[in-house]
Amino acid sequence: MTRAFLVVIDSVGCGGAPDAGAFFSDGMPDTGANTLAHIAHACAAGAAENGRTGLLNLHNLDNLGLGAAIRLASGEAAPGLGAAPQGLWGAATETSPGKDTPSGHWELAGVPVPWDWHYFPRELPAFPEALLAETRSLAGTDGTLGNCHASGTEIIAQLGEEHLRTGWPILYTSADSVFQIAAHEQAFGLDRLLRLCEAIAPRLHAMRVGRVIARPFVGSPETGFARTQNRHDYAIAPPAPTLCDWVQGAGRRVQAIGKIGDIFSMRGIDELRKGSDADLMEHWVALMDEAPEGSLTFANFVEFDSLYGHRRDVAGYARALEWFDAQLPRVFDRMRPGDLILITADHGNDPTWPGTDHTRERVPVLGAGLGPRAVGLVAFADVAASIAAHLDVPAQGPGRSFL
Ligand SMILES: O=P(O)(O)O[C@H]1O[C@H](CO)[C@@H](O)[C@H]1O
Ligand SMILES: [Mn+2]
Ligand SMILES: [Mn+2]
């Protein structure tokens, strides 16, 4: 028997998307965006020295083939990376018409998005009056705040005080197909916020808006405001059975770590383990020992994206990558014969790029357990087909195994 571990490091793109020019961040086309290469260049230039220093040190990922994957995807060299690959290595191209988390994950799980998402315009208000009215009615408030495109941390800094004074929820969106509601955990109430998001979600899903995201925060004007771990995404369900369903349908077990439960609306998932990325690493290490034969473990590490990419924090992003890389030996040491680990990403979020949005990019595909193997440029859906082939489970959809 074999086991598979599919690990998405959220937003860790490697440039080179052929359709990058059709996607925009802050009104600028994503052409040339390259999360990994630009972080590596900033590190080499001494421009990412906060809490770390020097060249980007991703020794373990690079030994699998990270530097080679960046060069394959984008033609760019990444300073400090480029060792001779010892693992499975390649890069994947997305076809779904969205550079968001559900699009990326569903396609990695074998199901490209078959529809055009609805995006809210960059005008004020960004949301139609009927949607605002229904939100007011469900929230029991006379108004809503924000109603615009925004960064989630900036908008609570700007409007947190007014939110405490009025009791009105803060609504915002981004270049993604999202409707986000921020509210204070005590003053507004965490349960009330979650119920509001859950109640309004079907209306947004009917409009082909991918997610309603509850964004609870705490704090005061004196101390400042901070978001908590109680974020919850109410996502449209995947349009067809995904890798998780294929594996579960074959009588195997599927363990999810982190946001995977939300992204797949828990479909095809037997067990979910959550927490901060540090917690998620402990779950992954534990599952290297606990995952049964024949099972799939599917993880998402979100903090690269949420704490550093959207915040355009280059040093923070480099620190997070170096932390993740340094943890990998704990995982590798627990591998058994027949195990396959694939590490990939769902989109880019170049912290050197304008704005605060995701960037359209190819993603690295790195594997441990099968020895050196160059798989070249593949499709996102090929990741699902390959995991299915490794587990000897029937696959569906357009993906082709690269194993
Ligand atoms: O700025 P914050 O609130 O982190 O929002 C980001 O998180 C959303 C979901 O990933 C993205 O669409 C982007 O808007
Ligand atoms: Mn993502
Ligand atoms: Mn994001």
Is 123 inside any structural domain?
no
Residue nearest to atom 12 of ligand 1 (CA): 176
175-187 pLDDT per residue, tens? 899 999 999 999 9
Q: Please state, as a whole number, how many other Cβ atoms lie within 10 Å of the Cβ of residue 203.
A: 16
220 within some domain:
yes
Domain end marker among 235, 261, 279: 235
Q: How far is the CA of 305 from the centre of ligand 2 (A)?
A: 6
* Residues 170 and 106 grouped into a single domain: no
Structural domains in the chain (count): 2
Same domain, 192 and 310: no
pLDDT value at position 324? 99
Give domain status of residue 36, yes or no: yes
Same domain, 106 and 135: no
Residue-wise pLDDT tens digits, 315-373: 999 999 999 999 999 999 999 999 999 999 999 999 999 999 999 999 999 999 999 99
| pLDDT level of residue 100 (50, 70, 90 thresholds) | very high
Same-domain pairing of 135 and 147: yes
Which of 400, 401, 378, 277 has the alpha carbon at shortest distance from 11?
277
Q: Is the CB of 12 under 6 A from ligand 1?
A: no
Domain of residue 284: give its range.
4-114+239-391
Q: Does the pLDDT at position 1 exceed 90?
A: no
Sign of the torsion angle spanned by Cα atoms 386, 9, 211, 173: negative
Q: What is the CATH number of the domain that holds 55?
A: 3.40.720.10
* Whether residues 244 and 349 fall in one domain: yes
User: Ligand 1 within 6 A of 65 CB?
Assistant: no
Amino acid identity of residue 50, one-letter, is N
Which of 25, 154, 197, 310 most suits a substitution to test ligand 1, by most atoms within 8 Å of the C-beta?
Answer: 310
Concatenated DSSP letters for 2-37?
-EEEEEEETT---S--TTGGG-EETTEE-TT--HHH
Same domain, 104 and 154: no
Decide whether any atom of ligand 1 lies within 6 Å of the 176 Cβ: yes
The reply to whether the predicted model has a pTM over 0.90 is: yes
First to last CA, the chain: 16
Residue that is last in its domain, among 168, 200, 235: 235
350 and 269 part of one domain = yes
Residue that is last in its domain, among 217, 235, 253:
235
105 and 9 within one domain: yes
Closest CA to 201 of 185, 215, 213, 217: 213
User: Please, which pLDDT band fits residue 27 given cuts at 50, 70 and 90?
Assistant: confident
Residue 310 CA, ligand 1 centroid: distance in Å: 7
The domain that contains 175 carries what CATH number? 3.30.70.1250
Q: Is residue 149 part of a domain?
A: yes
* 14 and 50 together in one domain: yes
- Give the Cα separation of 236 and 201 in Å (integer): 8
